[in-house]
Amino acid sequence: MIWALVAADLFGTGFARSALGMEQREFDYFALALQWPGTICSSTRHCCAANGCCRSEPLHTFTIHGLWPDYDDGTWPSCCRHTNFDMDKISPLMPILEKYWPSLYCSSSSTCFSGRGPFWAHEWEKHGTCSSPVVQEELQYFSTALDLYFKYNVMEMLASGDIQISDDKKYPLRDVIDTIKDAFGASPQIICKKGSIEELRLCFTKDLEPRDCLTTSAMSKTLTKEKHCPRYITLPTYDPIVFSNSTGEVFTEANNNGIYIYTA
């Protein structure tokens, strides 16, 4: 097995190719980053209406973190165009975004050009603006990510290898990788937290076809041992802490809506 490290979006822009405002070359490939709520939401201590972890029914599927344009050398572009996020532009997608692309935190997200804002604003301004020429505008960015998410259903891939959600069941990391590779046609990246999957990434060419995710040892200095995936990993569940002050309307909507990185 080949073990590799890659910098996550969670760790800031330390490996971004260029500083904000400087010209950045065209990206090489996309990474569709997916989060496992069972790992992230188990650490939730305080709730708010915007946090998907606080819904009355726990999330039992991978949710989208973002669609990230990356470079083959292990770096990535960020904040490429000065275009502020506009919620109105993605209003047709709101029900599906709430369900499959929720924030799993209460704090507002940093943005490139407008300070702080919704989770979606962060993803569009930091990553979506660097997705040209494949993706040109905001609605297309979110639509493209959702299309890939549904076309390449990771839960179905895992089920094909009899890998299920469980608090006590541990699966060989190699089996998880091979199951996804057989179904997807390319090697994913997996990020762990305390032995549980925290994030899983599927990678795509600029033609949106599956490709192996990048393996590089150049990123090893940015990550801690807490991100290492052991030989056996879990897909845990969690008990939600429901936001007590939320309205019935909010939760009706929610209920209808859920590194050590190994690369084979």
Is 199 known to be catalytic? Answer: no
The one-letter amino acid at 73: D
Burial class (CB in 10 A: 0-12, 13-18, 19+), 261: buried
Half-sphere exposure of 92 (CA within 13 A, CB side): 7
Contacts of 127 (CB under 8 A, 6+ apart): 9, 66, 67, 68, 69, 78
Is 65 known to be catalytic? Answer: yes
- Do 78 and 127 touch, CB atoms closer than 8 A? yes
The one-letter amino acid at 178: D
Is 46 known to be catalytic? Answer: no
Q: Tokens in use for 150?
A: 């549904």
Residue from 65, 138, 199, 228 carrying the catalytic annotation: 65
Nearest partner of 203 among 32, 70, 19, judged by Cα: 32
DSSP codes of every residue in 8-31:
-GGG-STTBSS-TTS--PPP-EEE
Residue from 125, 127, 138, 198 carrying the catalytic annotation: 127
Residue from 57, 60, 82, 123 carrying the catalytic annotation: 123
CA 143 to CA 141: how far, in whole Å?
6
CA 129 to CA 32: how far, in whole Å?
15
- For helices 138-151 and 119-126, angle between their N-to-C axes, nearest 10 degrees: 100
Q: Tokens in use for 79?
A: 């904040």
Q: State the catalytic residues.
A: 65, 123, 127
